[in-house]
């Protein structure tokens, strides 16, 4: 299993070497924020485009944001912790806080702007800023 993660990690490093100049100056927390923000924005786009009614009560939006944030947290642990071999225990708590804050902000901002075309980019930008602050 570790050999499989090593191979996938090598592929991700090769992709990063091609496109990495865009994100080379960003910290690890900002990269984690990019993963969560883009994922949350993408899922909000899918929800809006499928015309699933989203309740606009704060409690319902917070529940959606926490579910997406926890899923994004698992993605961070997979991509950064396992595949890029930063170690799950080293990034666990900070990535949990980062993913939850990023997801909550992304959900509330995307509901406010109501333009599904740019939700993923909005989440990416929010993730960069939240990661830079942390």
**pLDDT tens by residue, 90-102:** 889 999 999 999 9
Integer CA distances (angstroms), 126 to 11, 40, 41, in order: 27, 11, 10
Q: Is the pLDDT of residue 88 over 70?
A: yes
Q: Is the pLDDT of residue 3 over 80?
A: no
pLDDT in tens, 48-83: 888 877 778 899 999 999 999 999 999 999 888 887
What was the pLDDT predicted at 19?
A: 65
Residue 43 belongs to domain spanning:
2-133
One DSSP character per residue, 81-128 reads: IIIS-S-HHHHHHHHHHHHHHHHHHHHHHHHHH--GGGHHHHHHHHHH
Mean pLDDT score, 21-43: 85
User: How many domains in the chain?
Assistant: 1
Q: Which of 31, 115, 118, 104 is nearest to 64 (CA)?
A: 104
């Amino acid at each position: 299993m570790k050999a499989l993660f090593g191979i996938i990690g090598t592929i991700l490093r090769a992709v990063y070497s091609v496109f990495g100049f865009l994100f080379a100056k960003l910290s690890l927390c900002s990269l984690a924020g990019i993963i969560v923000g883009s994922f949350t924005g993408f899922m909000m786009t899918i929800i809006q485009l499928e015309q699933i009614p989203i309740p606009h009560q704060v409690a319902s939006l917070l529940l959606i944001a926490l579910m997406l944030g926890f899923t994004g947290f698992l993605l961070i642990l997979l991509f950064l912790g396992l595949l890029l071999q930063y170690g799950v225990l080293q990034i666990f708590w900070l990535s949990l806080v980062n993913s939850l804050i990023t997801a909550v902000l992304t959900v509330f901002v995307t509901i406010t702007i109501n333009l599904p075309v740019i939700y993923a980019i909005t989440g990416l930008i929010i993730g960069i800023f939240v990661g830079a602050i942390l």
